[in-house]
Structure 1
C-alpha cells in the first residue's frame, strides 16, 4: 500500500497538478477503505487479481494465454514421459500382480460369443454379465480376510473367514457401468462411485470431467476399479491417481477389466507397482473400445 500511495502522489503531482494534502486526504477517505474492504480479503485466496474485472479484456487475455501455454507445455512433457514409459515397459514382463483369469473352455466360449458380430444384444448382455461375475469373484480373492467362527444349524462349529473391512467400487464411465450388474449380483451391498475420464485427442492426454467417490473411501479395505477395456492405460492411470489423491493406498486398489493390452498393463503396473489387476484376456494393442457400445446398444 505504501508503494501504491507513493506512485499515486508522484503521478498526481507531476501529471495532474494536484497538491499532496488533497491526494493523501482522498487516499485515506476513499482508496484505502475500499482496498481494505474489497481487495485485501481476496489476496489471501486469489492467485491473481485483475483490476476492473471482466472489463479488463487485455489482462484477462494475458492470463488465458499464459494458462494455455503452460497446459501445452505440460501436455508435451506428459506425452514425452508416456513414450519413455512405453519403451521401458516393453522390455519388462507382466507384473506378478497382473492376474489373468484361467482360460478355461467355458471362458473361451464366452469370449467367442462376445466377439462374434452376429451375437444379439440380449445374448451379449447375458454372457458379458456372466464373464464380469467371474472377474469380480476373482478380484475378491485379492481382498484381506479375517478368521471367523459360526455355529451351523446342527450346532457344530465352523471355522471360516470374513472380509476384513468395507469393499467399495468405482466405475470409470461410461464403460465401467457395464460391470455394475455383475458387481451387485456378487456384492449386493457394495458402495459404488463414478469417475468420468475422457481422452483429449488433440493433446493425447486423459482429462477428468466428473468425480463422485464413496464417502470415507480412504478407510475401505478394498477398492475395485471397473473398466471393461484398457488399451493404452491412460484413463486407468488417471483413475488410480485420483483414488490415491483421495487417500486410498495402492495395495488396496484392484483394477478389474475384461480385456487389456499388454502395453497398457505394463504401463499401469510400472507406475503403480502395488495395485492388483484382474483381466479376462490380453487383447491386441490399440484395439478400439467396443464393449460398452454393444452392451448398451448405442
Structure 2
C-alpha cells in the first residue's frame, strides 16, 4: 500500500501582496490603514519600503545629518534584499525584516519577524519602480495627491516623528524630493492597476476592497478543495495504517483498553477523566521517546561494577502544543522531560466554511538537529495537523525530526499526514473507526477532550 506523494500548501503560500506607491506625503500609509480596517481580516501586515534603505557608511551618515544625502533616489534602497524577503514570504517562509531609524540614519540591530500573513501591503515612494518587485505584486496602487498637500504632510511627519527641523526638511525637499518625484516617482504611475485620487477616495477604496475579498475567497475555496482531496475516501483501514512504519499505535493490552474505556465513558467524572488521560499521556510520551536517537554509554553502578547502557543523544527536544486540547498532553511531557521548552500553535476553523486558519504560533528556538514533539488531543480530518506540521517545517525543523503525539486518530486524518509528510512519525493510543458526518467527530471517540479535561 502506498499513501505517499501528495502536497499540502497552506493559505499563506498564496499570500496576497498589494503595492502602494506615490509621492512622499501622498497618503500611502493612510490608504493601507483604511484597507486593513475595511477588510477586517486577521494577519494583514504593512511593510514599509523605508525598512530597506541601505546601511550608510560613516561619510554617508555625516552627509545625511547635514541633509545632504539623497534618500529620494532609487539607488538608496536595497532592492536585492527586498526581493529576497518578498519572494520568501510568497513561498510561505518566515522572514526577518530590517528596522531603519531616520533619527540615526541607519539600520537598527533589531529585526521584525513576519510569517504566515494573509495580506502584505508594501508601501513606499518607489514601490512600483523595480520590475522584480512588480512581478511579485498581486495589485498595484498609485496614490495621486496634489504636491502642496504632500509637502504639508511631510513637514508634519518629519518634524514630529523623525526628529528633523523645519529648515532641514525644506532643504531636502527642494534639493531632492521634488526632483525625485518628477523624474522617478510619477513615471511609475503607469505601472499601477488603480490610481487613487488623494487618500480619501471612498469609491476607489471600495473597489480595491472588493477585489481583495474576491481573491481571498478564491484562495479559501482552493485550500478547502485541496484538504478535502487529501481526506476523501481513505484507502487504508486502521489495521493497515497501524502497520505503516511511521504510524505507531500503542499495543492494545487489556490495561490500555481499560484506561481507554474509562476515558470514553460519558459518565466518567472530570477528576477521573483527568487522571486517566494524564496516565495515557505519559504512556504516549514514553513511546515517542523511543523514536529519538540514543547512544550506547558505559556507567559505574553503586556496586562498583561497570554496566553498558543507553542515553538520549538528541541535541534537544521541545514540545509544541496545538491550543487548547493539545495542552492536555503537557502534563505527561513534563513528567518525562521536566525541563522541556514549550511552544504554542493556535489553529481555529471558520464557522461558516470549516477552513482551518492559523491565528498564532510561538516556536521555541531549536538547533538544526533538535526534535519536536507536536501535541494534539486527536487527529480527525488531519487539517490542523497538516497546517501545524507545515509551521514547524517553515521554522526550519526537519520533517524527520517531528513526532506527532495524539490520544486517538481517525484513518482519514492519519492517511492525510502519511500522504503529505511521510517522514513525520505519529504516535497514538488507538485508531478509531472513522468520522461522524457532518460534524467530523471521531467515533466512537473520546468526546470533546478539551472541554472534558478543562471543565469548560
Report the TM-score, using the length of structure 1 for normalisation. 0.81
Question: Where do 1:73-88 residues align within 5 Å?
Answer: 73-87=218-232
Aligned to 1:8: none
Separation in 1 of the partners of 2:253 and 2:336? 21
- Work out whether residues 317 and 340 of structure 2, in 8 Å CA contact, stay in contact via their aligned partners in 1: yes
Separation in 1 of the partners of 2:325 and 2:72? 51
Aligned to 2:235: 90
| Backbone CA RMSD of aligned residues | 2.6
Separation in 2 of the partners of 1:138 and 1:266? 21
Per the TM alignment, residue 152 of structure 1 is displaced from its structure 2 partner at its CA by 1.9
Alignment: residue pair count:
266
Per the TM alignment, residue 55 of structure 1 is displaced from its structure 2 partner at its CA by 2.0
Q: Pick closer, same or farther for the CA change 1:40–1:150 going to 2, 3 Å.
A: same
Moved more, 184-193 or 73-82: 73-82
Bigger helix share: 1
Structure 1's unaligned 5+ residue stretches are 5-32
Separation in 2 of the partners of 1:153 and 1:256? 36
- 1:75-113 deviations in Å (ceiling 9; x for gaps): 222222223323464358423211010111111111111
- Work out whether residues 200 and 207 of structure 1, in 8 Å CA contact, stay in contact via their aligned partners in 2: yes
- Work out whether residues 129 and 182 of structure 1, in 8 Å CA contact, stay in contact via their aligned partners in 2: yes
- Work out whether residues 143 and 221 of structure 1, in 8 Å CA contact, stay in contact via their aligned partners in 2: no
Structure 1 residue corresponding to 2:419, chosen from 260, 265, 270: 270
Q: Pick closer, same or farther for the CA change 1:125–1:50 going to 2, 3 Å.
A: farther
- Work out whether residues 319 and 374 of structure 2, in 8 Å CA contact, stay in contact via their aligned partners in 1: yes
- Work out whether residues 223 and 253 of structure 1, in 8 Å CA contact, stay in contact via their aligned partners in 2: yes
Separation in 1 of the partners of 2:282 and 2:356? 28
Per the TM alignment, residue 61 of structure 1 is displaced from its structure 2 partner at its CA by 2.5
Aligned to 1:162: 311
Structure 2's unaligned 5+ residue stretches are 1-21, 23-69, 75-122, 146-197
Separation in 2 of the partners of 1:252 and 1:134? 20
Separation in 2 of the partners of 1:77 and 1:39? 32
1:212 aligns with 2:357: no
Report the TM-score, using the length of structure 2 for normalisation. 0.54
Aligned to 1:287: 441
3-state SS in 2 of match to 1:219: coil
Q: Pick closer, same or farther for the CA change 1:87–1:120 going to 2, 3 Å.
A: closer
3-state SS in 2 of match to 1:133: helix
1:67 aligns with 2:212: yes
Aligned to 2:377: 228
Per the TM alignment, residue 279 of structure 1 is displaced from its structure 2 partner at its CA by 0.6
- 1:10-62 deviations in Å (ceiling 9; x for gaps): xxxxxxxxxxxxxxxxxxxxxxx997699436668995555267523333333
Q: Pick closer, same or farther for the CA change 1:59–1:192 going to 2, 3 Å.
A: same
Q: Pick closer, same or farther for the CA change 1:149–1:91 going to 2, 3 Å.
A: closer
Separation in 2 of the partners of 1:239 and 1:281? 21
- Work out whether residues 294 and 311 of structure 2, in 8 Å CA contact, stay in contact via their aligned partners in 1: yes
Per the TM alignment, residue 220 of structure 1 is displaced from its structure 2 partner at its CA by 4.4
Aligned to 2:5: none
- Work out whether residues 368 and 398 of structure 2, in 8 Å CA contact, stay in contact via their aligned partners in 1: no
- Work out whether residues 218 and 249 of structure 1, in 8 Å CA contact, stay in contact via their aligned partners in 2: no
- Work out whether residues 373 and 402 of structure 2, in 8 Å CA contact, stay in contact via their aligned partners in 1: yes
Separation in 2 of the partners of 1:183 and 1:74? 37
